[in-house]
Copies of this chain bind each other. A is one copy, B any other.
């Protein structure tokens, strides 16, 4: 059997977030593998209540641990590097990254008791990392975090370009400017496949440079009369710098609030990419500075409940308090699904008399992803035989293929779990892999399909009723069934206590039940459950989740 070149997304293809892509080359089933990115995504109350973090299901990779030659991280966003600490032990391969990303990756490994030394800091193109049958180069590209990179992946079957997350920005404030010549160079000898970021495929206008917003922000900060608070993603080092320089121009000292904010500035400083960032003052010292000379740079742009912005909106954080006349800037976009949290904070700020400025006009924020025309630019430079959109929900991937088609490219929608054979002239689906999501729940990894979170959602929607019954040594009921409720109305339509009404119905059944029914564990439980649910439905119009506990004495 001849060797083949495969592409298999395990995360990120069918969602924005949780990126994890696999490339392989070799005999079918025996391919040598490399992993590109190992990210996470974030839980929400709708679908994943109580979950701490969502990771890609890497069972397929785990079973092929011996075939993995390397893990390549394109940049330091959580949805690309966030799972490295949780998963490295299960994969055990060397990790490659540029200095800033490596710094972050090492911190994550360290926090999980993993060896930080497995991370190799790489130089950029034309430097080549030989990794099994692959030769990989890091190609700098602009994005909303420093030292982002696309990857050139050379295989015996041809060249693949994996774009990574990117935007076309010639003046990115921090990090690598877009270098058209470089991308032309890596593409000139023919590219088999372009695996390409799809996040902003629905944004019709060309993207704007990070450098276009600094003046407007500085003006805003000069005009503001009280304290100014600004929030953005802590990892957006360029934005932090844009905001800090604007503060400096407006005669304001910069205070960093929030763990992620301090950590990111520290990492950027460690690797030497944060030159020209103004000196910061501590929250304690800030208390002695007039508020019109302060700019707080805070975490929590997505309305996260415990972040600095949420705490400021609720009153105070480390002694710093907002009040009438202060200004709060969201220098960020609200990610779909986070609206409620962000709006809650905006209203709390409004109650304090704080003026909120958000991204409505696009004056104070630019995206880190390539918009539609920028994607077309990338297509035209790379001219791949095949375009495979990644990093997008299904609608983004599909639209991206259509966009490629309109420019004369062949494209294919590939979602998580679809293994594509890229060896021939036309890509074919080699296999469908069982994939999905793994939840970090407290300190335990549980499968998304284990039913644990489903049970929680059911309790949240329906409430929980617990029925206990004691059966004595002779197989007779000892006393009456006992009912406890959690998350259910205490009184229903009959104006009696719900538990008493249900206990009465259960007692009637138990007293009529014959010995056979009472001995039959499964049947007894099922009957008690059915009666409890029916009784609750009549009383409060709701069928609760019911747990039945039968204790048998002797």
Contact = CB atoms under 8 A, between A and B. Distances in A.
A224 to B, nearest CB: 15
A393 interface: yes
Interface string A477-507: 0110010101111111100000000000000
Contacts of A394: 347, 350-351
A443 interface: yes
Contacts of A132: none
A452 B545 CA distance: 15
A464 interface: yes
A468 B551 contact: yes
A547 interface: yes
A276 interface: no
A456 interface: yes
A466 B463 contact: no
A460 to B, nearest CB: 4
Given A50-B460, A336-B339, A551-B470, A443 B487 contact: no
A44 B460 CA distance: 11
B456 A487 contact: yes
A46 B340 contact: yes
Interface in A424-450: 441-444, 446, 450
A49 B461 contact: yes
Given A464-B459, A540-B441, A484 B547 contact: yes
A121 interface: no
Contact of A202 (B349, B360, B452): B360
B444 A347 contact: no
A553 interface: yes
Nearest to A46: B45
A548 to B, nearest CB: 9
Contacts of A398: 350, 353
B455 A487 contact: yes
B49 A460 contact: yes
B442 A540 contact: yes
A542 B356 contact: no
B339 A452 contact: no
Query: Number of copies of this chain in the oligomer?
Result: 2
Most buried by B among A459, A537, A551: A459
A453 to B, nearest CB: 7
Contacts of A339: 336-337, 339
Contact of A549 (B349, B479, B484, B545): B484
A228 B479 CA distance: 63
A459 B486 contact: yes
Nearest to A469: B551
Contact of A489 (B395, B452, B466): B452
Given A336-B343, A350-B398, A459-B459, A540 B443 contact: yes
Interface in A238-281: none
A462 interface: yes
A493 B50 contact: no
B549 A486 contact: no
Contacts of A227: none
A360 B371 CA distance: 15
A541 interface: yes
A336 B347 contact: no
Interface string A6-33: 0000000010000000000000000000
Interface in A394-430: 394-395, 397-398
A128 interface: no
Nearest to A439: B489
Interface in A41-88: 44-46, 49-50
Contacts of A346: 393, 395
Contacts of A524: none
What are the nearest 10 A-B pairs in CB distance? A443-B541, A442-B541, A442-B542, A460-B460, A456-B487, A49-B460, A350-B395, A50-B461, A455-B487, A459-B459
26 contacts: A45-B45, A45-B46, A46-B46, A46-B340, A49-B460, A49-B461, A50-B542, A347-B394, A347-B395, A349-B395, A441-B541, A442-B541, A442-B542, A443-B540, A444-B489, A444-B492, A444-B542, A455-B463, A456-B463, A459-B459, A464-B464, A466-B466, A466-B547, A468-B468, A482-B549, A486-B545
Given A350-B394, A468-B468, A484-B549, 19 more contacts: A44-B340, A45-B460, A347-B393, A442-B537, A442-B542, A443-B540, A443-B542, A444-B491, A444-B493, A452-B488, A456-B459, A456-B460, A456-B463, A459-B460, A464-B464, A466-B549, A468-B549, A470-B553, A486-B547
Interface of A: 14, 44-46, 49-50, 202, 336-337, 339-340, 343, 346-347, 349-351, 353, 356, 360, 393-395, 397-398, 441-444, 446, 450, 452-453, 455-457, 459-464, 466, 468, 470, 478-479, 482, 484, 486-493, 537, 540-542, 545, 547, 549, 551, 553
